[in-house]
């Protein structure tokens, strides 16, 4: 969807929505919040990565994964392993019986670094692994399930089981993984202290940057024919199959895409929060990630970001003022979002706010465009809010 | 059927000894029939005769328990659905299954035989070739004016046509239509018959239909199925006069 | 001074000295209480690191889980810390300043602990943080508190292997609990074989490691070692193994809900702990846990800890009375709750010894700080920031209380990095 | 891994582990039965199933308290009363939930999953507010304590046996209800062809409500039984949910027999492995195997091939 002139796109309604989000994240919040709060927003944003993935995977293609925490965690652990190795220099760990290995290994009588830790000395390898490991696992799962037409509820339950397995495994193998405590006390990234306010603020902006990269990637997929196939698959899988598409391949692709996003989110989480622990892999964490997406509007990648921000902000807010109410609120949220407004905030926005905008900006229905190929595929104002599936207008050749 | 024939080389489609059973119940039982290129064949038969199951088997939706399906010399029983489609078989379902929230244009575009791999779909661009192809088909299925309508807003009959169009744009050699005129108004039926005649100029068509009037209009040959077997085969007059057929089907 | 000051000095001069000191502080605080700011040193002197200290107040932080799975365990600590603060305020506060506290909820979620500790240090500039319960939450707080040079008073008995200049560990580290416990079982009960059982995370694993080493040292044998996931509720298999191996002692460090299932299933499998075949020695079941398990399910098991509610000494009787008066008669007080109660008092003592709230000045003074009014008796801070404390063995009664059957004569020296135990 | 055990010991090991497996099996059956009915028959995923179970447990806890204080004489028998009560309370709540929530979502199975998860959060917090966060201890009448001594090694705990009996009788009852009663026929009719069933005058909405209520009621009984061997706390229910779902799916959602078979297989596998491996690893391996098999055979063990 490389529109003939990007500027024009920014002028479009969709473009404005992206600008608005960017303005909020890059200007307003940093000005309004102290470094501490901003850091918390950064943490919330890392969940938005997962939510975006879920929009593509669940909202569009109808594949509900209750194990996104697994990919989030894997990405996070890859990053954490690198940072931990950097933190455990022989000097820093002199008091250990085996200096130079992470402290928790020493406590568990490991006398040398396990083989699968070795490559994480290299930063470039880590960066690859952050995306590669989650995607690889997603591919294996996806291939096994989708080529056998496993879907819907079954898929959800199995992903859930996988989350359970990984959690128990990590906790049980604490010599290699740090166990329940996770991998903690991470200090520097290539010698750069990530604990200072400056670093945290920088990381926040890096996180926002990455987030927009993922947003645009997701948007690209969604606006290409690929995105249309995904939605079509969700509604009429049979028809898509008999239109000559290998449905499984598309499902595997989108599942891997979601996993990649989650992995990036996890890595950012590790950098921003300063450690990684199994509690983000587990079932509860994974299901909460789904609600971020559901609240934002399961079809809207922008909505997903707002969903993640709002739910988490609310969570912190509640737990500071009246803690015991939070679970009730959360529960009500799950039920309400499903029963009352299945299209989440994006849906509400579309049905209540956009009409106002239309009146305000006098946006008329899409003005016909010339059928030069790019123009024909360019989103009309109608679909521009990025929520609507994919109505692209076509207009006849005659000029 | 003589051995010479059964090689299936001179046929577009050769179905031989086709059998499928669900928990012991044989929905299709040692079925054999052959389609010549450019032929219009109508399969009729009482409910539960296994008509739809035959289409399912040919297009790969259901896997055969035994038997072979040779299409243009290629064995279909081992292929995946999308491979079968790519080898030139299009199938329309009984109830219209179009993409409701896509426009007519997009429905056809999605079916356009290009960019069917993941990466292909990513790279796919709506170039003039596509637009022309879509317009051409839209013309044939009487939906030229509805190109920008979301499919959801079409009438039942129009949806049926759209689905047929979605097959046409794939340029298949064999079209399989499951009750194309079911639930259509008289006017729509006429148009559909006309549409089929156009189509058969350069396609082989395999139709399931109940409406004998309509069958009479379009069929070259008719295959009557009963309890998963071929009961009778031949011209419409021939089957109409076949006592076995009258017995099980037309008699009441 | 901490190291030169060995067990020897504990009984005679040290104790008297400690006694006098505490009398003095008490007297002092009484005076302060009566003649208000008179003796109060100026804020400029006592607070050079802009902590939240005014001329008549000082703010501290309380950081525990009020929600989530850990709330159940941490609530007692919160109550104890608030009680201590209240009592200190009644006795005139610290350096003439009333203590105010900011309470934050860790929500049983480790990043939240990190966040909230950062908030307490950065926004509220608290002079001290009393909080954390699980090792995981402490590990999450640690980098933060070291970065901003705060001071955490951590109440839980834990695995050791840590010694931060920014933490005071008011609970026991593993060796204090375990060595005493095992020695007792060997001496008093003639135990020869042990079965080590725990929930699957760092504290039980480390504890059992220490136990195993110690048992080997004594030339006795470990016949089994077993871990189950947190929250596991099916223990029939391990019960069978135990029956098969017939150990003299089951050394248990099972935590949380698993406890309930484990003891119920033991009982159901016909094991009567009162006849001590095998004898069960736990380091994880405090009076708090028994409330959930049910007294009749644990009757007869032994626990090795530094505090039991039933301890009979004036300090404790006072403490228990005060606690019940504040929070209701049905309250039970476990080891950790008591340790949490020590936090504010030790901080007060350190501050007054240093004559300043500045963390660095206080840190100077920690080694040797005593608290003679401790419910558990007398405690003193070791230079490794852990406490010298006695270890007691209690036997669980059907009413859910422990009957103290043994206590170490001397204070156990805290040893977070035990030689030859790693 | 067998080293250190004499053959006679090994015999009794397998005997005892077999029994340990059986009690795990009965736990699974108790949980899975209710789930299998709801999921298998209605295609609804009830994530709050564990919380319904705990509701049953709390009911038992309250009943025992009541008997202790008011009818100490009858305490020995309170348990049977508690079971019935647990069933009723959970069933009623279940029917209510179905009416308020589930019935709007039959065509959206994934959404029921989320909605019921929300429900489970609310129920958990409700327990926490009412009964406190700490597990409650449920006193058992004396006669349920202790065990039968079979050999010096092999002992059969009485309450274990009791749970097993409950589990089996429920399994049988459900089977009869589903496959031998007119009502069961209606249920299956609705499952196979809703509109047709309605056409022949079956009140499908009523059937749905009843089915869901029944499932929840059975969960309640499970909870009552668990007070004897497990812990009763606000979040105790969640510990079982994943295992149970796997049991149901593994068994082939539609078939109750399949559910029982898979429950048996999984429990035996796990308890046997538990003996030779650490508890954690045994659990991981069991789950891995189940997931692995499900990947190869998604339809589960006992799925029927239907003409699609």
Walk me through the domains of chain C, giving residue ranges and CATH numbers: 7-172+311-389 (3.40.50.2300), 174-305+394-407 (3.40.50.2300)
pLDDT-wise least confident of B1-10, B20-29, B225-234, C368-377: B1-10
Distance from CA of C271 to the nearest CA of D (A): 8
Give me the percent of chain C exceeding a pLDDT of 70.
90
Token representation of residue D216:
């929840």
Mutate to test the interface with A, among D32, D97, D106, D295 (most CBs of A within 10 A): D295
Contacts of D135 in chain C (CB under 8 A): 257, 260, 292-293
- Of D116, D235, D230, A321, whose CA–CA distance to C103 is shortest? A321
**Higher-confidence residue: D274 or C405?**
C405
Chain B residues whose C-beta is within 8 A of a chain A C-beta are: 59, 61, 80-82, 85-86, 90-91, 93, 97-103, 105-106, 109-111, 113, 115-118, 121-128, 131, 134-135, 147-148, 150, 163, 166, 170
> In this structure, is residue B47 part of a structural domain?
yes
Q: Residue B123 above 50 pLDDT?
A: yes
Read off the pLDDT of residues D272-306 as tens digits, 9 standing for 90 and up. Answer: 888 777 777 888 898 898 888 887 777 776 654 44
| Mean pLDDT calculated for residue range C391-399 | 95
> In this structure, is residue B14 part of a structural domain?
no
Q: Residue B1 above 60 pLDDT?
A: no
Residue with tokens 């000097």: A91
Residue A100 falls in which region: left (phi positive, over 0), alpha (psi -120 to 50) or beta: left
Q: Scanning every residue of chain C, which has its alpha carbon at the shortest distance from the alpha carbon of D157?
A: C269
Q: Scanning every residue of chain D, which has its alpha carbon at the shortest distance from the alpha carbon of C259?
A: D231
ipTM: 0.83
Provide the sign of the torsion angle of the four alpha carbons A57, A60, A66, A68, taken in this order: positive
Question: Do A344 and A334 touch, CB atoms closer than 8 A?
Answer: no
Give me the percent of chain C exceeding a pLDDT of 90.
56
Read off the pLDDT of residues C124-157 as tens digits, 9 standing for 90 and up. Answer: 999 999 999 988 899 889 989 998 999 999 999 9
Question: Do C110 and A277 touch, CB atoms closer than 8 A?
Answer: yes
**Burial bucket for residue C275 (CB in 10 Å: 0-12, 13-18, 19+):** exposed
Mutate to test the interface with A, among D43, D44, D47, D111 (most CBs of A within 10 A): D111
pLDDT-wise least confident of A73-77, B210-214, C248-252, D141-145: D141-145
Domain D12-296 fold: ABC transporter involved in vitamin B12 uptake, BtuC (1.10.3470)
Q: Do D305 and B23 touch (CB under 8 A)?
A: yes
Distances (CA, A) of C159 to A104, A108, A171, C178, C202: 12, 12, 16, 10, 7
Chain C contact present for D141, CB below 8 A:
no
Calculate ∠ Cα A374-A212-A255, nearest 5°.
Answer: 85
Contacts of D307 in chain B (CB under 8 A): 22, 25, 27, 53
Interface size between A and C, measured as CB pairs under 8 A: 100
Read off the pLDDT of residues C324-378 as tens digits, 9 standing for 90 and up. Answer: 999 988 889 999 999 999 999 999 999 999 999 999 999 999 999 999 999 999 9
Residues in chain D: 308
Residue D7's pLDDT is what?
76
Distance from CA of B20 to the nearest CA of D (A): 10
Alpha-carbon distance of D167 to D31, in angstroms, equals 9
Contacts of D111 in chain A (CB under 8 A): 338, 342
Alpha-carbon distance of B148 to B106, in angstroms, equals 8
- Of A76, A74, A106, whose CA–CA distance to A88 is shortest? A106
Directed axis angle between helix C15-34 and helix C335-354, to 10°? 80
Read off the CATH number of the domain in which B238 is found.
3.40.50.300
> In this structure, is residue B29 part of a structural domain?
no
Q: Scanning every residue of chain D, which has its alpha carbon at the shortest distance from the alpha carbon of B62?
A: D308
Chain A contact present for D119, CB below 8 A:
yes
Assign 3-class secondary structure to chain A. CCCCCHHHHHHCHHHHHHHHHHHHHHHHHHHHCCHHHHHHHHHHHHHHHHHHHHHHHHHHCCCCCCCHHHHHHHHHHHHHHHHHHHHCCCCCCCCCCCCCCCHHHHHCCCCCCCHHHHHHHCHHHHHHHHHHHHHHHHHHHHHHHHCCCCCHHHHHHHHHHHHHHHHHHHHHCHHHHCHHHCECCCCEECCEECCCHHHHHHHHHHHHHHHHHHHHHHHHHHHCHHHHHHHHHHHHHHHHHHCCCCHHHHHHHHHHHHHHHHHHHHHHHHHHHCCECHHHCCHHHHHHHHHHHHHHCCCCHHHHHHHHHHHHHHHHHHHHHCHHHHHHHHHHHHHHHHHCCCCHHHHHHHHHHHHHHHHHHCCCCCCCCCCCHHHHHCCCHHHCCCCCCCCCCCCCCCC
Count of CA atoms in the C-beta half-sphere (13 A) of D104: 15
Chain C contact present for A279, CB below 8 A:
yes
Alpha-carbon distance of C105 to A323, in angstroms, equals 8
Mean pLDDT of chain C: 86
> What residues of chain A score a pLDDT lower than 70?
1-6, 320, 323, 362-399
DSSP state of B149: S
What is residue B91's three-state secondary structure? strand
Residues in chain A: 399
Mutate to test the interface with B, among D303, D304, D307 (most CBs of B within 10 A): D307
Q: How confident is the model at residue D2 (pLDDT cuts 50, 70, 90)?
A: low
Q: Residue C203 above 60 pLDDT?
A: yes
User: Chains that contact C by 3+ CB pairs under 8 Å?
Assistant: A, D
Q: Do C233 and D275 touch (CB under 8 A)?
A: no
Looking at the partner chain, which of A148, A154, A339 has a beta carbon nearest the beta carbon of D104? A339
> In this structure, is residue B146 part of a structural domain?
yes
Residue C49's pLDDT is what?
86
Residue B203's pLDDT is what?
87
Chain B contact present for A4, CB below 8 A:
no
Mean pLDDT of chain D: 84
Strand B174-178 and strand B89-92: pairing?
parallel
Mean pLDDT of chain B: 85
> CB atoms < 10 A from the CB of D276, how many?
15
Contacts of A239 in chain B (CB under 8 A): 93, 97-99, 163, 166
Interface size between C and D, measured as CB pairs under 8 A: 125
| Mean pLDDT calculated for residue range D240-257 | 82
In angstroms and rounded to an integer, the radius of gyration of the C-alpha atoms of chain A is 22
Question: Do C393 and C302 touch, CB atoms closer than 8 A?
Answer: yes
Residue C36's pLDDT is what?
43
Residues in chain C: 422
In angstroms and rounded to an integer, the radius of gyration of the C-alpha atoms of chain C is 21
> In this structure, is residue B174 part of a structural domain?
yes
Alpha-carbon distance of B71 to B206, in angstroms, equals 13
Contacts of D306 in chain B (CB under 8 A): 22-23
Q: Is it true that the peptide bond before A384 is cis, omega within 30 degrees of 0?
A: no
Give D186's contacts (C-beta < 8 A, 6+ positions apart). Answer: D197, D202, D207
Contacts of D295 in chain A (CB under 8 A): 144-145, 148, 150, 158
Alpha-carbon distance of B217 to B90, in angstroms, equals 22
> In this structure, is residue B170 part of a structural domain?
yes
Distance from CA of D180 to the nearest CA of C (A): 34
Alpha-carbon distance of C116 to B84, in angstroms, equals 60
Residue A395's pLDDT is what?
54
Contacts of B23 in chain D (CB under 8 A): 304-306
Residue D150's pLDDT is what?
72
Domain of B227 in residue numbering reads as 38-61+80-250
Q: Residue D249 above 80 pLDDT?
A: yes
Q: Which residues in chain C (62-91) have CB-CB distances under 8 A to chain D?
A: 69, 71-72, 75
Question: Do B32 and B17 touch, CB atoms closer than 8 A?
Answer: yes
Alpha-carbon distance of C196 to D121, in angstroms, equals 35
Distances (CA, A) of C190 to C186, C215, C241, C279, C408: 5, 13, 22, 11, 17
Residue with tokens 């509220």: C124
> In this structure, is residue B87 part of a structural domain?
yes
Q: Which residues in chain C (215-244) have CB-CB distances under 8 A to chain A?
A: 227, 229-230
| Chains C and B touch, contact meaning at least 3 pairs of CB atoms under 8 angstroms apart | no
Give A132's contacts (C-beta < 8 A, 6+ positions apart). Answer: none
Q: Do D20 and C243 touch (CB under 8 A)?
A: no
Looking at the partner chain, which of A228, A389, A394 has a beta carbon nearest the beta carbon of B147? A394
Mutate to test the interface with D, among B23, B49, B50 (most CBs of D within 10 A): B23
Q: Do A246 and B80 touch (CB under 8 A)?
A: yes
Looking at the partner chain, which of A241, A253, A392 has a beta carbon nearest the beta carbon of B82? A241
Looking at the partner chain, which of C69, C229, C288 has a beta carbon nearest the beta carbon of D235? C69
Distance from CA of C217 to the nearest CA of D (A): 23
Q: Do B115 and A231 touch (CB under 8 A)?
A: no
Give me the percent of chain B exceeding a pLDDT of 90.
12
- Of C222, C164, C228, C160, whose CA–CA distance to C191 is shortest? C222
Q: Which helix (H) or strand (E) holds D189?
A: helix D182-192
Contacts of B62 in chain D (CB under 8 A): 308
Calculate ∠ Cα B91-B92-B95, nearest 5°.
Answer: 145
Q: Do B81 and A242 touch (CB under 8 A)?
A: yes
Residue C172's pLDDT is what?
94
Distance from CA of A371 to the nearest CA of B (A): 9
User: Chains that contact D by 3+ CB pairs under 8 Å?
Assistant: A, B, C
Query: What domain count does chain B have?
Result: 1
Looking at the partner chain, which of C136, C144, C206 has a beta carbon nearest the beta carbon of A277? C136
Chain B contact present for D107, CB below 8 A:
no
> In this structure, is residue B89 part of a structural domain?
yes
Read off the pLDDT of residues B50-96 as tens digits, 9 standing for 90 and up. Answer: 888 999 999 988 888 889 999 988 898 889 989 999 999 999 888 87
| Mean pLDDT calculated for residue range B158-175 | 90
Looking at the partner chain, which of B97, B102, B128 has a beta carbon nearest the beta carbon of A390? B102
Read off the pLDDT of residues D260-278 as tens digits, 9 standing for 90 and up. Answer: 888 998 888 888 888 777 7
| Domain residue extents for chain D | 12-296
Distance from CA of C88 to the nearest CA of D (A): 30
Q: Residue D179 above 80 pLDDT?
A: yes
Q: Residue D308 above 50 pLDDT?
A: no
Residue with tokens 């509109």: D195
Chain B contact present for A377, CB below 8 A:
yes
Calculate ∠ Cα A340-D122-D98, nearest 5°.
Answer: 55
Alpha-carbon distance of A2 to A9, in angstroms, equals 9
Residue A76's pLDDT is what?
97
Q: Scanning every residue of chain D, which has its alpha carbon at the shortest distance from the alpha carbon of A335?
A: D115
Residue A133's pLDDT is what?
97
Question: Do C412 and C199 touch, CB atoms closer than 8 A?
Answer: no
């Amino acid at each position: 969807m490389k529109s003939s002139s990007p500027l024009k796109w920014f002028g479009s309604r969709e473009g404005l929505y992206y600008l608005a989000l960017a303005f909020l994240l890059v200007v307003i919040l940093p000005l309004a919040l102290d470094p501490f709060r901003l850091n918390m927003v950064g943490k919330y944003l890392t969940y938005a990565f997962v939510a975006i993935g879920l929009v593509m995977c669940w909202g569009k293609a109808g594949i509900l994964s209750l194990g996104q925490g697994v990919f989030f965690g894997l990405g996070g652990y890859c990053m954490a392993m690198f940072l931990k190795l950097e933190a455990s220099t022989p000097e820093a760990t002199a008091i250990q019986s085996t200096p130079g290995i992470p402290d928790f290994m020493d406590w568990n009588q490991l006398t040398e670094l396990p083989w699968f830790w070795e490559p994480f000395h290299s930063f470039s390898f880590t960066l690859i692994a952050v995306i590669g490991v989650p995607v690889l696992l997603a591919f294996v799962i996806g291939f096994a399930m989708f080529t056998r037409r496993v879907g819907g509820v079954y898929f959800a339950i199995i992903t859930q089981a996988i989350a359970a397995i990984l959690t128990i495994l990590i906790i049980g193998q604490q010599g290699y993984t740090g166990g329940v405590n996770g991998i903690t006390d991470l200090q520097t990234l290539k010698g750069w202290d990530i604990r200072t306010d400056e670093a945290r603020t920088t990381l926040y902006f890096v996180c926002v940057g990455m987030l927009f990269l993922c947003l645009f990637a997701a948007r690209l997929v969604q606006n290409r024919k690929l995105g249309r196939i995904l939605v079509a698959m969700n509604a009429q899988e049979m028809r898509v199959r008999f239109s000559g598409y290998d449905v499984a391949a598309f499902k595997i692709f989108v599942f891997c895409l979601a996993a990649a996003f989650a992995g990036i989110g996890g890595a950012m989480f590790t950098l921003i929060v300063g450690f990684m622990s199994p509690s983000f892999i587990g079932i509860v964490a994974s299901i909460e990630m789904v609600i971020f997406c559901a609240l934002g509007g399961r079809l809207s990648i922008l909505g997903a970001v707002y969903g993640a921000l709002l739910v988490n902000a609310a969570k912190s807010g509640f737990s500071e003022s009246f803690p015991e109410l939070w679970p009730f609120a959360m529960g009500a949220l799950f039920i309400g979002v499903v029963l009352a407004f299945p299209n989440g905030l994006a849906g509400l926005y579309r049905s209540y706010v956009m009409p106002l905008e239309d009146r305000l900006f006098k946006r008329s229905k899409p003005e016909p465009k010339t059928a030069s190929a790019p123009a024909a595929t360019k989103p009309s104002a109608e679909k521009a809010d990025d929520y609507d599936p994919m109505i692209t207008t076509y207009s006849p050749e005659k000029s | 059927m003589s051995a010479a024939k059964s090689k299936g080389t001179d046929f577009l489609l050769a179905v031989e000894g086709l059998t499928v059973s669900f928990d012991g119940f044989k929905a299709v039982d040692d079925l054999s029939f052959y389609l010549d290129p450019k032929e219009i064949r109508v399969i009729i038969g009482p409910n539960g005769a296994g008509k739809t199951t035959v289409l399912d088997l040919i297009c790969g939706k259901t896997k055969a328990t035994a038997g072979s399906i040779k299409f243009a010399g290629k064995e279909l029983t081992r292929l995946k659905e999308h491979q079968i489609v790519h080898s030139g078989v299009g199938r329309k379902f009984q109830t219209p299954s179009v993409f409701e929230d896509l426009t007519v244009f997009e429905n056809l575009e999605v079916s356009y035989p290009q960019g069917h791999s993941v990466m292909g779909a990513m790279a796919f661009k709506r170039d003039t070739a596509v637009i022309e192809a879509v317009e051409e088909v839209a013309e044939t299925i009487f939906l030229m004016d509805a190109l920008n309508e979301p499919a959801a807003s079409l009438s039942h009959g129009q949806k049926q046509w759209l689905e047929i169009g979605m097959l046409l744009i794939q340029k298949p050699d064999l079209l399989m239509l499951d009750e194309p005129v079911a639930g259509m108004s008289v006017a729509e039926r006429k148009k559909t018959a006309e549409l089929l005649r156009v189509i058969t100029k350069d396609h082989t068509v395999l139709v399931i239909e109940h409406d004998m009037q309509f069958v009479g209009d379009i069929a070259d040959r008719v295959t009557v199925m009963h309890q998963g077997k071929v009961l009778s085969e031949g011209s419409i007059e021939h089957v109409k006069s076949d006592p076995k057929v009258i017995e099980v089907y037309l008699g009441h | 001074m901490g190291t030169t000051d060995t067990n020897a000095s504990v009984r005679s001069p040290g104790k008297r000295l400690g006694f006098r000191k505490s009398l003095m502080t008490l007297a002092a605080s009484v005076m302060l209480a009566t003649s208000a700011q008179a003796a109060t040193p100026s804020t400029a002197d006592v607070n050079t690191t802009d902590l939240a200290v005014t001329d008549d107040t000082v703010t501290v932080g309380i950081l525990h889980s009020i929600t989530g799975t850990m709330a159940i365990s941490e609530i007692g600590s919160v109550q104890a810390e608030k009680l201590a603060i209240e009592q200190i305020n009644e006795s005139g506060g610290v350096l003439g300043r009333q203590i105010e506290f900011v309470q934050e909820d860790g929500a049983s979620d480790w990043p939240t602990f990190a966040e909230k500790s950062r908030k307490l240090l950065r926004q509220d500039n608290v002079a001290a943080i009393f909080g954390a319960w699980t090792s995981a939450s402490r590990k999450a707080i640690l980098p933060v508190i070291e970065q901003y040079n705060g001071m955490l008073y951590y109440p839980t008995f834990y695995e050791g292997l840590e010694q931060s200049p920014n933490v005071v560990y008011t609970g026991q580290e593993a060796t204090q609990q375990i060595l005493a416990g095992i020695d007792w079982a060997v001496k008093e009960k003639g135990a020869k074989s042990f079965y080590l059982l725990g929930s699957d995370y760092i504290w039980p694993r480390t504890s059992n490691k220490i136990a195993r080493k110690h048992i080997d040292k004594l030339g006795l044998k470990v016949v089994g070692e077993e871990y189950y996931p947190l929250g596991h509720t099916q223990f029939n298999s391990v019960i069978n193994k135990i029956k098969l191996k017939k150990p003299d002692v089951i050394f248990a460090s099972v935590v949380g809900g698993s406890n309930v299932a484990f003891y119920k299933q033991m009982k159901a499998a016909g094991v009567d702990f009162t006849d001590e075949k095998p004898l069960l020695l736990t380091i994880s079941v405090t009076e708090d846990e028994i409330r959930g398990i049910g007294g009749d399910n644990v009757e007869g098991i032994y626990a090795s800890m530094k505090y039991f509610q039933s301890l009979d000494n004036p300090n404790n009787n006072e403490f228990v009375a005060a606690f019940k008066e504040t929070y209701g008669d049905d309250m039970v007080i476990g080891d950790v709750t008591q340790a949490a109660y020590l936090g504010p008092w030790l901080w007060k003592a350190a501050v007054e010894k240093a004559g300043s709230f500045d963390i660095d000045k206080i840190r100077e003074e920690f080694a040797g700080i005593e608290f003679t009014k401790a419910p558990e008796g007398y405690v003193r801070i070791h230079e490794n920031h852990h406490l010298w404390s006695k270890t007691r063995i209690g036997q669980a009664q059907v009413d859910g209380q422990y009957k103290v059957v043994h206590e170490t004569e001397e204070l156990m020296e805290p040893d977070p990095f035990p030689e030859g135990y790693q | 891994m067998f080293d250190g055990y004499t053959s006679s010991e090994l015999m009794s090991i397998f005997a005892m582990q077999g029994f340990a497996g059986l009690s795990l099996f009965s736990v699974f059956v108790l949980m899975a039965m209710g789930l299998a009915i709801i999921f298998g028959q209605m295609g609804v995923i009830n994530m709050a199933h564990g919380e319904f179970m705990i509701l049953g447990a709390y009911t038992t806890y309250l009943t025992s308290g009541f008997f202790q204080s008011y009818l100490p004489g009858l305490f020995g028998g309170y348990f049977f009363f508690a079971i019935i009560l647990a069933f009723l309370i959970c069933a009623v709540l279940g029917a209510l939930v179905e009416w308020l929530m589930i019935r709007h979502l039959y065509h959206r199975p994934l959404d029921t999953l989320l909605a019921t998860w929300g429900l489970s959060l609310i129920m958990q917090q409700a327990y926490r507010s009412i009964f406190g966060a700490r597990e409650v201890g449920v006193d058992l009448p004396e006669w349920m304590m202790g065990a039968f001594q079979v050999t010096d090694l092999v002992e059969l705990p009485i309450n274990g046996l009791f749970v097993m009996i409950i589990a089996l009788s429920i399994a049988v009852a459900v089977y009869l209800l589903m496959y031998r009663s007119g009502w069961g026929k209606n249920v299956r009719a609705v499952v196979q062809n809703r509109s047709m069933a309605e056409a022949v005058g079956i009140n499908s909405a009523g059937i749905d409500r009843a089915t869901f209520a029944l499932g929840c009621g059975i969960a309640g009984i499970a909870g009552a039984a668990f007070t004897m061997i497990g812990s009763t706390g606000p979040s105790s229910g969640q510990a079982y949910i994943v295992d149970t779902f796997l049991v149901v799916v593994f068994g082939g959602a539609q078939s109750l027999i399949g559910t029982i078979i898979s429950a048996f297989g999984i429990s035996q596998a796990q308890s046997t492995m538990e003996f030779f491996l650490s508890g954690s690893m045994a659990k991981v391996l069991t789950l891995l195997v189940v997931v692995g098999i499900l990947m190869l055979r998604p339809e589960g063990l006992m799925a029927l091939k239907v003409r699609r």
